[in-house]
């Protein structure tokens, strides 16, 4: 991909359903889901997406509500690192730590910062299966009666 040409990157941003298959996914370095619920994808398209990430080593980015997508598709849940459980703190000023500052895209972030957001707690999350890029600072949270599995950004 021509990363020096923003038009090359931006021309593929769309809210429309992407009609893709194994052949045309080769045109991309990553796929981003900012989705929720079950998407209209055939078994062939699901297999192509998994192969794109697992076999080809390409990227998958799940943003916010992507963890409430395909809740009946276990392979998707494994790929995204778990599913939405709750947002125990509601919308709040979230204390965030950059855990992997050496990863491309993390350099512009300070080591710690705050962000007002609705942070999702994830069920079936395991740090052993993902690379955590950012996380909540547990030392600055009210963890009473809460299972703490909140990560902000992961790499799969």
Per-residue confidence (pLDDT) for residue 96, from 0 to 100: 93
Per residue in 85-118, pLDDT tens? Answer: 888 888 889 899 999 999 888 889 999 999 998 8
Going by the DSSP 8-state scheme, the letter that residue 37 receives in this structure is B
Express as a percent the part of the chain with pLDDT over 70: 78
Q: Which residues in 11-120 belong to E strands, given as ranges?
A: 30-33, 59-62, 83-86, 91-98, 112-118
Helix, strand, or coil (residue 32)? strand
User: pLDDT band for position 148 (50/70/90)?
Assistant: low
Pull the structure tokens for residue 62: 């799940």
CA distance 97 to 74: 29
Per-residue confidence (pLDDT) for residue 119, from 0 to 100: 84
Cβ(92)–Cβ(116) under 8 Å? Answer: yes
Per-residue confidence (pLDDT) for residue 155, from 0 to 100: 53
Q: Which residue has the higher pLDDT, 150 or 17?
A: 17
Q: 106-111 contacts: CB < 8 A, separation 24 or more? A: 106/133, 106/134, 109/134
């Amino acid at each position: 991909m021509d990363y020096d040409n923003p038009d090359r990157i931006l021309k593929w941003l769309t809210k429309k359903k992407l009609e893709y298959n194994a052949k045309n996914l080769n045109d991309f370095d990553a796929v981003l889901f900012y989705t929720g619920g079950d998407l209209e994808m055939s078994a062939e398209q699901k297999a192509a997406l998994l192969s794109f990430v697992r076999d080809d080593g390409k990227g998958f980015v799940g943003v916010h509500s992507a963890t409430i997508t395909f809740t009946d598709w276990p392979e998707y849940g494994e790929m995204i690192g778990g599913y939405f459980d709750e947002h125990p703190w509601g919308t709040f000023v979230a204390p965030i730590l950059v855990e992997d500052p050496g990863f491309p895209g993390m350099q512009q972030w300070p080591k710690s910062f705050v962000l007002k957001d609705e942070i999702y707690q994830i069920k079936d999350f395991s740090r052993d299966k993902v690379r955590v890029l950012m996380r909540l600072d547990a030392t600055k949270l009210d963890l009473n009666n809460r299972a703490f599995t909140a990560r902000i950004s992961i790499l799969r």
